[in-house]
Amino acid sequence: LGPLVGAIDQGTSSTRFLVFNAETAELLSHHQVEIKQKFPREGWVEQDPMEILNSVYECVERTCEKMNELNIDIANIRAIGVTNQRETTVVWDKTTGEPLYNAIVWLDLRTQSTVERLLKRIPGKNKTFSKFKTGLPLSTYFSAVKLRWLLDNVEEIRKAVEDRRALFGTIDSWLIWVCICGKNGGIHCTDVTNASRTMLFNIHSLEWDPDLCKFFDIPMEILPNVRSSSEIYGLMKICPSRESGALTGVPISGCLGDQHAALVGQMCFQDGQAKNTYGTGCFLLCNTGQKSVFSEHGLITTIAYKMGKDKPVFYALEGSVAIAGAVVRWLRDNLGIAKTSQEVEKLAAEVGTSYGCYFVPAFSGLYAPYWEPSARGIICGLTQFTNKNHIAFAALEAVCFQTREILDAMNKDCGIPLSQLQVDGGMTNNKILMQLQSDILCIPVVKPSMPETTALGAAMAAGAAEGVGVWSLNPGDLTAVTCERFEPQINPEESEYRYARWKKAVMKSMEWETSDSPSNGKPK
């Protein structure tokens, strides 16, 4: 076997560690651990940063054990890439190495009143006031408002900032800081893709923006150093409480937000290439090359990647949908209509139609293309005939309709409609969903046979870094991927009719929640 590259993939619902062969891009071994989400109050979503960290250690340990059983020498792992759920916000104490509060997850809505308070300070309450600097609208989604909430509401964090002990980071920064020495000289850094999701970063100058930091009243000294997505940040130090210390001394040399990593893993290096990832949420990214394109149709502008210190930055347009796989998890955990996600697919398959029932899963308001935080989830079109199978089918359809909305916006902004959709992510194992997606979009859906493209992208960035150099990103050297294709099977008229009904349902979900409703107070 040639050189190997590892990838830590820390997502919203699970953590994985995967090991790839750098020459063939083959996945050799992996381990996955589900992460607990805490919902302390309505609309609040938190995770424990220590649980996230321990899940990373456990995945690394178990994967190394599996490799030993396969007689693969872990000494061949030359580099490690990190990819992560984006925007999720952690503040920790650099002297103790302990988090000062739970991580506030990207989906969390507690900052709605913070957003409204900030909007009042902007002329004309213009949500897109920083669009040309950050590419983003003012929303509960991005890190700056979460950090503002923490500074406003958590005494320990305010105190740590005053004492200059506090560090802020997204999940990548937290993991890299701890894995490279932690409180004994940890490296406090992030990459351009993760920085571009904070609302504090100027995506043209590639620097933290002093005016935005002033607007959100965030002290710049707590922010991480911003680096490229592919360079050696430091060497792995494994937590002394773990048995193996397996990867001590291996460089951590790749870092990308999960959606950006999937773009790389799908080899979308050309202007106009796009991919859609079906995870907790749904994210459609289209590479726009070395120029930033600003949407007229509700998409956001983000950094795609920067593959080395001296390499150019590439940009992307993104359509972000908050709830995709999460709706299946909700049917399983909250409604209990199925014991596993596979069972939800089976329920849907048994009826093959939603029978006029529509499900808009606006659990965290609506993201692209509406950016409507007041929306909430609804199921409509119910009759005495409707049963759990129809609701399961409507939930899968909802994922496809939401994708159609962001794809329509993308086609309008780019002027050139996509002729097919490249897909990846956990939900793409669901064949019914993929066929439904093709039917609703009226174009083929193409899925690589190796679905772990997010981890692959992080491994590619790590393996290609200067000083590692085991993975070539030259177009000629990239291995061709085998794919499965799903072609549209229903007539476009029926597809259009269902999509129009869906839009009607979306309108009914809006303007439901107001910030003065009693549930939006401070933490108990």
CA distance 17 to 6: 7
Q: What is the pLDDT of residue 238?
A: 62
Q: What is the pLDDT of residue 202?
A: 97
Q: Which residues pair with 4 in a beta bridge?
A: 21, 77
For residues 111 and 365, the answer to whether their CB atoms sit within 8 Å is no
For residues 157 and 164, the answer to whether their CB atoms sit within 8 Å is no
Q: What is the pLDDT of residue 517?
A: 55
Task: Return the closest-CA partner of residue 93 out of 101, 85, 103.
Answer: 101
Task: Return the closest-CA partner of residue 304 out of 280, 273, 326, 282.
Answer: 273
Task: Return the closest-CA partner of residue 508 out of 370, 328, 396.
Answer: 370
Q: What is the pLDDT of residue 245?
A: 64
Q: Which residues pair with 87 in a beta bridge?
A: none
Q: Which residues pair with 207 in a beta bridge?
A: 202
CB atoms within 10 A of CB 440: 24
The tokens 């007229």 sit on which residue? Answer: 296
Q: Which residues pair with 485 in a beta bridge?
A: 446
Tell me the CB-side half-sphere exposure of residue 371, using CA atoms within 13 A.
16
Q: Which two tokens stand for residue 280?
A: 């907790």
Q: What is the pLDDT of residue 111?
A: 94
Percent of the chain with pLDDT over 70: 96
From its phi and psi, is residue 266 left (phi > 0), alpha (psi between -120 and 50) or beta?
A: alpha
From its phi and psi, is residue 329 left (phi > 0), alpha (psi between -120 and 50) or beta?
A: alpha
For residue 373, give the 3-state DSSP assignment: coil
- Distances 39 to 49, 130, 270 between C-alpha atoms, Å: 15, 31, 40
Q: What is the pLDDT of residue 524?
A: 42
Phi and psi for 365 in degrees, rounded to 5?
70, -170
Q: What is the pLDDT of residue 242?
A: 52
The tokens 């900052």 sit on which residue? Answer: 111
For residue 351, give the 3-state DSSP assignment: helix
CA angle 473, 476, 477 (to 5 degrees): 55
CA distance 26 to 282: 25
Q: Give pLDDT tens digits along the chain (524 positions).
A: 789 999 999 999 999 999 999 988 899 999 999 999 999 998 899 999 999 999 999 999 999 999 999 999 989 999 999 999 999 999 999 999 999 999 999 989 999 889 989 999 998 888 888 889 999 999 988 999 999 999 999 999 999 999 999 999 999 999 999 888 777 778 999 999 999 999 999 999 999 999 999 999 999 999 999 999 999 999 988 655 455 567 888 999 999 999 999 999 998 998 888 899 998 888 999 999 999 999 999 899 999 999 999 999 999 999 988 888 889 989 998 999 898 888 988 999 899 888 899 999 998 888 888 888 889 999 999 999 999 999 999 999 999 999 999 999 999 988 778 888 999 988 898 888 999 999 999 899 999 888 889 999 999 999 999 999 889 888 777 666 778 899 999 888 888 888 999 999 999 998 887 765 555 444 44
CA distance 418 to 415: 9
Q: Which residues pair with 103 in a beta bridge?
A: 47
For residues 65 and 17, the answer to whether their CB atoms sit within 8 Å is no
* Burial of 501 per CB tally in 10 Å (0-12, 13-18, 19+): middle
Q: Which two tokens stand for residue 288?
A: 């726009």
CA distance 393 to 353: 6
Q: What is the pLDDT of residue 480?
A: 66
CA distance 290 to 312: 7
DSSP code at position 338: -
The tokens 């992996």 sit on which residue? Answer: 30
Q: Where are the beta strands (DSSP E) in 48-93?
A: 77-84, 89-93
Task: Return the closest-CA partner of residue 96 out of 20, 13, 16, 186.
Answer: 186
Using DSSP bridges, classify how beta strands 313-321 and 225-227 pair: parallel, antiparallel or unpaired: unpaired
CA distance 20 to 455: 9
